[in-house]
């Protein structure tokens, strides 16, 4: 199965605040917030939603095609890193003018986060065409439209419709800046729609669609619920609830959602049922949670299968085993 993942490619600056953000906010002063946090740690890591998803897919033995825009700095190290981990970077556009996007995130002791994102070269993703990428690949079986330059997201969604390629709509944080009509265009006809529970409510609010009306326009709706797991709704009325996989330790939550998507998509590529796909996604997500950095984990086949069996039963491991190694 040939999978292309469109979206952001970035460098992450991850910081840790040893207190609680909630204790720094004064209720009657929220109209003029001015906060500064002295952080204990700074980690500079490779990141970006599309790159993180591709890295996870590579860890599971797939060879995804990364589609996004970067600066020249990407070529010094990041490109070779991804290639070494099973990612096809032939769909990456290199800007002559701008740096690769930057993500700056501070996490408090309760795992709450405050973040900023500099788009940089990402705004040039709107110039990338999917058709030549599909032609080079022979075919594309699924395209993931993850957070990116909004015009790029809309363009790639429409290209998927025009080319008859199934796609997964993953609007993420771009829901905050996109208008209702843009979100409706982004979501309509998606084979899969994935958001977290907050984004789910925001999407319905901005589009004016009820939950049922969203399901009339997509094949499967996946909602992640953090430590509560995930819920998968289908247009036929089927509902699947999957608990989160337990972590051995908790280091940093950045990139957990991207890892969930990687595992979920791998399960789809292996033609497993939706519940099993979400279980794989939850298991991969714990690997990211246990590390600082979104691409610092390694999935060893034996350990992954053991943890999958411990959490979701021996049958889950049996279903995945033929696809690993």
Residues with a known catalytic role:
258
Q: Which two tokens stand for residue 96?
A: 């002559």
What are residue 232's DSSP bridge partners?
A: 222, 240
Degrees, nearest 5: CA angle 151-157-162: 120
- How far, in Å, CA of 199 to CA of 6, rounded? 19
CA dist 304 → 35, 281, 307 (Å): 41, 12, 5
The pairing of beta strand 10-16 with beta strand 41-47: antiparallel
Which residues lie closer than 8 Å to 24 by C-beta, 6 or more apart? 35, 37
């Amino acid at each position: 199965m040939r999978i292309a993942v469109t979206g952001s490619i970035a460098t992450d600056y991850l910081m840790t605040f040893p207190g609680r953000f909630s204790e720094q906010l004064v209720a009657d002063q929220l109209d003029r917030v001015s906060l500064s946090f002295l952080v204990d740690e700074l980690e500079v890591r490779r990141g970006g939603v599309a790159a993180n998803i591709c890295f996870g897919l590579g860890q599971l033995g797939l060879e995804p095609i990364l589609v996004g825009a970067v600066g020249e700095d990407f070529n010094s190290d990041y490109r070779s890193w991804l290639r070494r981990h099973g990612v096809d970077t032939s769909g990456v556009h290199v800007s002559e003018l701008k740096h690769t996007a930057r993500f700056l995130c501070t996490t408090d002791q309760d795992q709450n986060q405050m973040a900023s994102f500099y788009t940089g070269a990402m705004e040039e993703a709107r110039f990338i065409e999917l058709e030549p990428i599909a032609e080079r690949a022979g075919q594309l079986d699924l395209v993931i439209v993850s957070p990116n330059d909004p015009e790029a997201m809309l363009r790639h969604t429409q290209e998927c419709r025009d080319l008859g390629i199934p796609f997964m709509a993953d609007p993420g944080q771009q829901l905050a800046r996109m208008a209702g009509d843009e979100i409706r265009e982004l979501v309509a006809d998606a084979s899969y729609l994935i958001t977290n529970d907050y984004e789910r409510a925001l999407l319905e609010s901005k589009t004016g669609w009820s939950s049922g009306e969203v399901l009339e326009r997509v094949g499967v709706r996946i909602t992640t619920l953090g430590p509560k797991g995930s819920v998968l709704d289908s247009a036929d009325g089927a509902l699947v609830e999957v608990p989160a996989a337990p972590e051995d330790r908790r280091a940093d939550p950045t990139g957990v959602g991207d890892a969930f998507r990687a595992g979920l998509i791998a399960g789809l590529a292996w033609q497993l049922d939706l519940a099993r796909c979400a279980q794989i996604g939850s298991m991969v997500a714990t690997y990211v949670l246990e590390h600082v950095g979104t691409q610092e984990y390694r999935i060893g086949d034996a350990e992954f299968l053991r943890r999958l069996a411990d959490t979701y039963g021996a049958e889950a491991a049996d279903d995945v085993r033929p696809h690993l190694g």
